[in-house]
Chains A and B, each alone.
Chain A
Amino acid sequence: MADLKYNNSAPDFDERNAVDDLVADPPVRQEDQRWVTGGLDRAAAARHLLLPGLHRLQNVKGWISPGGLNYLAESLQVPAAEAYGVASFYDLFQLEAPASQGPLHHVCVDPICATNGSAAYIEELRSKGHKVHESPCLGQCERPPASFVQIRGSEGEDATATTDQSLQFQSTEHNRLLRRFGRQDPTDLEAYKKLGGYKAFQTAIQLGGARVIEMLTESGLTGRGGAAFPTGVKWRSVANHQEGPKYVVANADESEPGTFKDRMILENDPFALIEAMTIAGISAGCRKGWIYIRGEYTTAASRFSLAINHAYEAQLLGTEIAGTPFTFDLEIRQGAGAYICGEETSLFNSIEGFRGEPRSKPPYPTDSGLFGRPTIVNNPETFLNVLEIINHGVDEYRSAGTHESPGTKLFCLSGDISKPGLYEAGFGITLGELITEAGGVRGDLQAILLGGAAGSFVGPDHLDLALSFEDANANNLTLGSGAVMVFSTNADLSAVVRRLAQFFRDESCGQCVPCRIGTVRQHELLLQIGSNKPEDANLGLLDDIATVMTDSSICGLGQTAASAVQSAVKLGLLDKRTS
């Protein structure tokens, strides 16, 4: 064996099988302990199997034992300490034997579910003897309270406490990104084709990659994950790198509280994402795509996995796709409970089998992304826009939205609203209009949290705010992921703000000092303030904590960890008495 030292703890039969089944081609082979083939390069090439391996160990035994971890690490030639460091990074991996083997219920305690009965649901589960983990937002805010159940020997299920599993989205003929929602069996490729599927792919082949990317730039499409970077520029930079390998990555690690659009895309229109990623691949010269799906999104992952299989069968993935000279392969990776892995460079580290800690930028992913190679990384909503632009042309695309924010946006409406769900609207719709579309506020409006935990609270005076990038910027706000969380005067917003602060404290990766300690100090201070009017000294300290997190953190998590809290303080929401 190589120089790495492993301890003597051994796997049991099931663990050994689970690992052997995954690592069919180990990086280092032993033949009678004499012949060793392999080396550092092969070990590096196999390390991306660490995360799937940990999932298997967790599933087969209900926890990750020292013997199982040791065997997986040795099979992949990953140092045991590093494998432990990776396993202990994720919420969904247990590193101690559970007291009982029953299912583990992760129940969301973030604002929308907390104000919709998650505490009572948790109590009910516990009284029945179930194991419960209080979970961050599970991305099912349209039907709270949300839960995710981990069951030994299975992939787990995302479920809700309610029995209502109906698809909650706004269905109008103006829909673009949602045009196929509810009109097809999501895993039926023929149904997708009947609704216009793979037309964009054919058009893209005819137009050629350069023209496709030009169209994206002309369309003004920007990333929908929160940072609003021009998609055409991103694809162009990757296309400009002559040397491969290059990668396309779909970031479906949607974990921003109040956001569920990407889950609904994956569940209801998986082929559209596959088609758009394939177009990215052939346009920018990438032969391999990866999709990173949040670990708790098991329905989405299984449907997407089925869709990938169908696409391969139909030769729409693989070598010489659809009779063209292009090759494009697609692989799924599932997260394991870490909000930070939605940060693109953390996501790369997570896929590569390292701790999901963000990298310093520059270099940017277009130069050095996944496996250190040029990488296009977009979120599913952004990818779906590409199909619209190719199928309907730039002018038609720009006919919706504003001049500076062309096209449509998906908004996730949740909370005290009559019809929570997924809504599509042209940029520039006002907040008030959007809320009216969703049936209006239940009760009297107190505040709206725009853009998720990393966003900002606005008061009822902002109902005429136009939802576009330029108007949001002008008001020092962000549309973020498109989350719109509505709170009536029944909500105790100081509790909501404390919970948001705890969310960041729990989800900080711990790499940089400002975020690792700042999120803790912010939460402590809010606990001390409670529902009272904050004293000036407290406000000064809160401000300083916000400054260092915003100015000096490595990544967007720390840089936005004070955003919602600061906006709540400014609106005086901490000591607002509820009616």
Chain B
Amino acid sequence: MPPQPTEIAVTINGQSVDVAPGTSILDAAKSVGIEIPTLCWASNLTPVNACRLCVVELEGSRTLVPACSRECEQGSVIHTESERVVLNRKMVLEFLDTTNDLTQSAELQELLLRYHADSSRYTEPNQMQDDTKIEDDLFVRAYDRCVLCYKCVEACGDDAQFTFAISMAGRGFDTRVSTEFDTPLPESACVYCGNCVGVCPTNALQFKTEFDLREASDWNPERHNSTQTICSYCGVGCTLELHTQDNKIFKVTSPADHSVTSGHLCIKGRFGWQYVQPPTRRSLSSG
């Protein structure tokens, strides 16, 4: 076998880039400030390249290739915003927008505008329909917003939690994220770590506290704040990010690039914050 080169030279949008072997096109582009939109990719999960939003043109390839998982090869010439790429992205976005309720994903809303997606040209498209599943006080599942990006399945499985409570089920347009026989979460293998909620890009999975605020029409991002702290439960010392509205916690996350958590938490850190603001305390002091 020939010795492996230590550097691979590629050209992205006319710009020469040297990267280490094994670098994805996405990371190579990022290293020179070229952003490629992604949906199913996350820094703390294995790429599944299912959404195809990150496709780019690789000279010599019959089809477009997913930037998130295709490794750079010596001499690759790549175009990330060619006419062909732009049309493909626009179509992926139109497909998603005609299928799902994307209103709670600011990132996708921005992309829909940027790529001039025109969902009005579809007449009565079939949509993903599902009743919102409210099975407990911790989080809700609204699969009409689910774009089947696999992130929750990966976070529940061997990318983070190793619980395997959910899987893709069914086939084709009827595919859904599901427990076995659609068993309610409290009866399933779910351990309520909430790592699925943490990686969901469309708010299909959301904290019950956030859901209640939205249902009460009391959701207002202008009154939001976030504060970093360290989880007080055990000695691991996970960094928590408390998301608050009017100083009341509605969601807890951890930074995806954090060296301890990689963005993942356990049930205590994720959901065990009621003691900070117990409803009884307020009623006692006000009463």
Contact = CB atoms under 8 A, between A and B. Distances in A.
Given A84-B169, A360-B49, A551-B84, A510 B91 contact: no
Main SS at interface, chain B: loop
B175 interface: yes
Given A507-B172, A509-B171, A524-B126, A7 B183 contact: yes
A80 interface: yes
Interface of A: 3-7, 66, 69-70, 73, 79-85, 88-90, 95, 338, 355, 357, 360, 505-514, 516-521, 524, 528, 537, 541, 544-545, 547-548, 550-554, 559
B50 interface: yes
Contact of B164 (A69, A81, A509, A520): A81
Contacts of B179: 80-81, 84
Nearest to A554: B49
Given A360-B69, A545-B91, A85 B52 contact: no
Main SS at interface, chain A: helix
A521 B125 contact: yes
Contact of A506 (B51, B125, B157, B172): B172
B32 to A, nearest CB: 24
Interface string B153-185: 000010000111111111111110011110100
B138 interface: no
Contacts of B96: 513, 517
A512 B52 CA distance: 7
A508 B167 CA distance: 18
Interface string B79-108: 000001001100110011011000000000
Given A70-B180, A548-B87, A4 B164 contact: yes
A543 to B, nearest CB: 10
Interface in B169-224: 169-175, 178-181, 183, 187-189
Contact of B171 (A338, A521, A552): A338
Contacts of A550: 63
B178 A84 contact: yes
B92 A552 contact: yes
24 contacts: A4-B164, A4-B189, A5-B189, A7-B180, A66-B181, A79-B164, A80-B189, A81-B164, A81-B180, A84-B179, A84-B181, A88-B178, A90-B171, A355-B167, A508-B172, A509-B171, A509-B175, A516-B148, A519-B172, A520-B125, A524-B122, A547-B87, A547-B91, A551-B63
A3 B164 CA distance: 10
B95 A552 contact: no
A520 B94 CA distance: 13
B169 A88 contact: yes
B92 A79 contact: no
B142 interface: no
Nearest to A518: B95
Given A6-B189, A82-B167, 14 more contacts: A5-B163, A81-B178, A81-B189, A83-B180, A84-B179, A509-B175, A510-B171, A512-B51, A513-B50, A513-B96, A517-B99, A548-B91, A553-B52, A554-B49
